[in-house]
Each structure stands twice: as structure tokens, then as C-alpha cells.
């Protein structure tokens, strides 16, 4: 049986997630697990998909970067799947009509090569990003992200004074619970 997994990093990528689910369904996936979470965060739907698959199944993803964040992580995922007798198919790799399938020895080799290239590409992108930020800072053009929580401190304190919970304040104001706690702790220390 084909089981699909789709992921995008942010909520703004809704169309990308929908496209992945549509493509996986069109490929014949009987069940598709999907989530919107960073590749470095906890991915409960990926864990659920791996738990769900059974011997003889194939886990299908549209692109390599939707599944793993590094060669090491890819190796761990493939090992988990192989231990269950499950193959992995990555559709959009340009390696043939069916994509890459770890059910074959050539597919396993190609996966390792392509995962290494993908990790190298990501590391190069991050290096260029760091260099660009450093250059912008030197030129006085980089200010960083605006501190959204501090700008909402008065509203947080007012809602807390009205008896609203930290979780409720976080949702209402649109900041993290930790930020609410920090604002209220700073206020108490004054």
C-alpha cells in the first residue's frame, strides 16, 4: 500500500501543502499524513506515518526536502522504515518516471547521493544568508526582527490584570506564552 507524507514549513505555504496532498492522492496513496511545521521541529504526523506503515508498504513524499533535514536524519528515517520492511519513494527527483524508490539497490544509492547534495545545498544557502546579514549589519541596513512582544507589553499587563490566563493572553495578543510570562515576570520585578 502507498502511504503519503506532505509537509510545509509555514502556514503561509497552504497552497504548497494542498498541492503535495493532491499529488500524493493522484499517485494512489491510500492515506496521506500532512503537517505544517519546520523540518527541525517535532513532526508528529511524520512519526504517525512511520508508525502506521506496515511491511510491504511504501512511504511516498513529493520531494526529498519535505522529509529530511540532513543526510544523517535521512539515514535515520530510512533505517526506521527498513526495519519495518517499508520502502521509501521520492517522486520529484528527475531520476525516472516513478521517482526514486529505496526498494531497489540503485534507489538506495541515489538517495544517499541526493541527500548529500541537498544537505550541501542547504548549508551553502545558510552560509550565504549569514554573509548577507553580516554585510548588511556593517552597512547599518540590518535591524533584525522587530520585537513584537515588547510592543504589546501594556496590552498583556492589562489582560492579566483582568484575570485572563497566560495562554488566553498569548492567543488574544498573538505572541508566545513564554513572551507573556517574561512580560509579566519583568513587571513583577519592577
Question: Locate cell 498541492: which residue?
Answer: 19
What pLDDT does 70 receive? 75
What pLDDT does 147 receive? 73
Asked about 116 being catalytic, the answer comes back as no
What pLDDT does 67 receive? 84
Of 9, 39, 70, 92, the active-site residue reads: 9
Whole-number Å distance between alpha carbons of 89 and 64 = 9
The one-digit pLDDT tens for each residue of the chain (190 residues) are 999 999 988 766 778 889 999 999 999 999 999 998 877 778 899 999 999 999 999 999 998 888 887 778 888 888 899 899 998 988 876 555 556 677 677 777 777 777 777 777 778 888 888 898 889 888 988 877 777 787 888 999 999 999 999 989 989 988 888 889 888 888 765 5
Whole-number Å distance between alpha carbons of 126 and 188 = 39
Residue 156 near residue 183, CB atoms below 8 Å? yes
pLDDT tens, residue by residue, 59-82: 999 988 888 877 788 888 888 998
What pLDDT does 158 receive? 92
182's CB contacts (< 8 A; 6+ apart) are 149
Whole-number Å distance between alpha carbons of 132 and 190 = 39
Whole-number Å distance between alpha carbons of 118 and 56 = 28
Question: Locate cell 520585537: which residue?
Answer: 147
pTM above 0.85, yes or no: no
Residue 46 near residue 4, CB atoms below 8 Å? no
Amino acid at each position: 500500500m502507498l502511504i503519503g507524507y506532505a509537509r510545509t514549513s509555514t502556514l503561509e505555504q497552504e497552497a504548497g501543502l494542498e498541492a503535495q496532498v493532491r499529488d500524493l492522492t493522484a499517485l494512489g496513496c491510500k492515506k496521506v499524513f500532512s503537517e505544517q511545521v519546520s523540518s527541525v521541529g517535532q513532526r508528529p504526523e511524520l512519526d504517525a506515518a512511520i508508525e502506521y506503515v506496515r511491511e510491504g508498504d511504501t512511504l511516498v513524499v513529493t520531494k526529498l526536502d519535505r522529509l529530511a533535514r540532513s543526510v544523517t536524519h535521512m539515514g535515520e528515517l530510512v533505517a526506521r522504515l527498513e526495519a519495518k520492511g517499508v520502502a521509501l519513494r521520492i517522486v520529484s527527483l528527475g531520476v525516472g518516471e516513478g521517482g526514486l524508490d529505496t526498494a531497489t539497490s540503485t534507489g538506495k544509492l541515489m538517495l544517499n547521493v541526493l541527500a548529500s547534495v541537498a544537505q550541501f545545498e542547504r548549508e551553502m544557502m545558510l552560509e550565504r544568508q549569514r554573509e548577507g546579514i553580516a554585510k548588511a549589519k556593517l552597512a547599518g541596513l540590518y535591524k533584525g526582527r522587530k520585537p513584537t512582544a515588547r510592543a504589546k507589553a501594556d496590552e498583556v499587563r492589562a489582560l492579566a490584570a483582568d484575570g485572563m490566563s497566560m495562554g488566553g493572553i498569548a492567543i488574544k495578543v498573538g505572541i508566545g506564552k513564554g513572551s507573556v510570562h517574561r512580560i509579566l515576570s519583568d513587571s513583577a520585578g519592577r
